[in-house]
Amino acid sequence: MEPITDVPGPAFATLTKERFSREGWIFERKLDGMRVISSRSGTSVRLRSRNDLDAAGSFPEVAEALEALDLPDFVVDGEVVAFDGAQTSFALLQRRMHVSNPAKARRSGVEVFYYVFDLLHLDGHSTRGLPLGERKALLRELLDWQDPLRYTDHRDKEGENFFREACEKGWEGVIAKRASAPYRSGRTRDWLKFKCEQGQEFVVGGWTDPQGARTGFGALLLGYYDDTGALRYAGKVGTGFDATLLTSITEQLLARATPRTPYDARTLPKGQAWRRSTHWVKPELVAQIAFSEWTPDGQLRHPRFHGLRTDKDARQVVREIPS
Q: State the catalytic residue, choosing from 30, 136, 195, 236.
A: 30
Q: Is 30 a catalytic residue?
A: yes
Within 8 A by CB and 6+ apart from 204, the residues are 220, 221, 222, 253, 281, 283, 284, 285, 286, 287
CB 36 within 8 A of CB 49: yes
The distance of Cα 93 from the centroid of its chain, to the nearest Å, equals 11
150: enclosing H helix or E strand: strand 149-151
Asked if 82 and 88 touch (Cβ cutoff 8 Å), the reply is: yes
**Distance (Å, rounded) from C-alpha 48 to C-alpha 121?**
15
- Contact at 8 Å (CB) between 79 and 34? yes
**Inter-residue contact 35 to 288 (CB < 8 Å):** no
CA pseudo-torsion sign 44, 48, 53, 59: negative
CB 62 within 8 A of CB 18: no
Q: 229: which DSSP letter?
A: S
User: Active-site positions?
Assistant: 30
